[in-house]
């Protein structure tokens, strides 16, 4: 039986599901390059807390788009797609299979479906909105969005300051609600019909146990010191890097506002809640993905490759 060569392999899944190990094994076997598709693993500030591949893992196969962004940058799906497009062109020229790996559903959706054609927000508008929002609670910001753009506000969680600020910026820049731009889309970078799309779906209790164990391990590997260095930069708390799982709780601990045990508990619970949303997103937004238990993942890939 012959093996087809896909234009790309996409491995999604909740945190701590074994995506990186599978991606490296496939990269070694197929002559591939592991390309990051996780919105926190792009940041250079969070190697430990984002569970980026170790130096040994990076040495085992080529890796791209890991740790290439400074935490002060408001890195977005659009910027990632720009970087991913450049990587795809490079890898095609080298004859290597791109193996996109991560837990950010919007990155995978952008690869396959493209993005809504939202006008760029001028830097001065973004700076103005963020200056006005500084020190305000997410609920207060959401109330402002309700007053200006109720249609978009209905689609955004009141506890998600990054998306609220994004909607406020677009409204400030264009006078139109973000939801009005959702129809027209730029084309995706990849055709799903030519890709292998796999979602690792561990049993929920086992996944939660792995999340807890991995968080404890990260604490032992210097996660607190990593957050301490990040906190000393005094970055805007609405930036994505400042909302990474574990960061808010540990910042609160470092400021004397919580115990270390409370910070660790919050990090674990936030990660568990995020894993639920990862399952939901793939189920409803990306039906092309084949679901497989981690222990059966390689067999599932082999079947899709006609191995």
Structure tokens at 26: 């496939």
| Same-domain pairing of 94 and 168 | no
| Same-domain pairing of 85 and 131 | no
Residue 148 placed within a domain: yes
| Same-domain pairing of 47 and 27 | yes
Domain end call among 181, 197, 225: 181
| Same-domain pairing of 53 and 103 | yes
| Same-domain pairing of 298 and 195 | yes
| Same-domain pairing of 293 and 255 | yes
CATH number at residue 138: 1.10.20.140
The distance from CA 284 to its chain's CA centroid, rounded to whole angstroms, is 17
Domain end call among 140, 157, 181: 181
pLDDT along the chain (307 residues), means of 10: 78 94 96 97 96 94 97 92 96 96 96 84 86 88 93 90 88 88 78 96 96 97 97 91 95 97 97 95 95 94 84
CB 145 within 8 A of CB 117: no
Answering whether pTM is above 0.85, one says: no
| Same-domain pairing of 148 and 271 | no
Place of tokens 């909302």: 243
Residue 3 placed within a domain: no
Domain end call among 181, 216, 231: 181
Range of the domain at 139: 123-181
| Same-domain pairing of 108 and 254 | yes
Residue 1 placed within a domain: no
Residue 2 placed within a domain: no
Residue 31 placed within a domain: yes
Structure tokens at 170: 């677009």
| Same-domain pairing of 226 and 89 | yes
| Same-domain pairing of 190 and 177 | no
User: What is the predicted pLDDT for the residue at 3?
Assistant: 60
| Same-domain pairing of 133 and 208 | no
CATH number at residue 244: 3.40.50.300
| Same-domain pairing of 191 and 172 | no
Q: Is the dihedral of CA 269, 274, 275, 277 positive or negative?
A: positive
Looking at the 3D structure of the chain, how many domains does it have? 2
Residue 269 placed within a domain: yes
CB 130 within 8 A of CB 236: yes
């Amino acid at each position: 039986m012959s093996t087809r060569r896909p234009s790309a392999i996409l491995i999604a899944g909740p945190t701590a599901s074994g995506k990186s190990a599978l991606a490296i094994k496939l990269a070694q076997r197929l002559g591939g390059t592991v390309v990051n598709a996780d919105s926190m693993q792009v940041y250079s500030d969070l190697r430990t807390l984002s569970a980026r591949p170790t130096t040994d893992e990076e040495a085992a196969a080529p890796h791209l788009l890991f740790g290439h962004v400074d935490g002060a940058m408001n890195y977005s799906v659009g910027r990632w797609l720009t970087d991913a497009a450049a990587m795809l062109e490079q890898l095609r020229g080298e004859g290597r299979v791109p193996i996109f790996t991560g837990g950010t559903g919007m990155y995978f959706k952008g690869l396959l479906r493209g993005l809504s054609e939202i006008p760029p927000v001028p830097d001065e508008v973004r700076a103005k909105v963020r200056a006005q929002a500084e020190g305000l609670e997410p609920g207060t910001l959401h109330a402002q969005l309700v007053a200006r753009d109720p249609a978009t506000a209905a689609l955004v969680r009141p506890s998600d300051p990054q998306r609220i600020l994004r909607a406020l910026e677009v409204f400030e820049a264009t006078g139109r609600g973000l939801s009005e731009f959702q129809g027209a889309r730029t084309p995706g970078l990849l055709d799903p019909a030519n890709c292998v799309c796999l979602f690792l779906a561990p049993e929920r209790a086992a996944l939660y146990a792995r999340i807890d164990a991995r968080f404890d391990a990260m604490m032992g590997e210097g996660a607190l010191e990593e957050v301490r260095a990040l906190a000393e930069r005094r970055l805007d708390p609405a930036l994505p890097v400042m909302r990474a799982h574990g960061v808010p709780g540990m910042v609160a601990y470092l400021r004397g506002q919580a115990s270390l045990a409370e910070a660790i508990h919050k990090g674990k619970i936030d990660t568990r809640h995020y894993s639920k949303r990862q399952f939901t997103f793939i189920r409803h937004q990306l039906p092309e993905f084949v679901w497989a238990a981690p222990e059966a993942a390689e067999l599932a890939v082999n079947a899709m490759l006609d191995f």
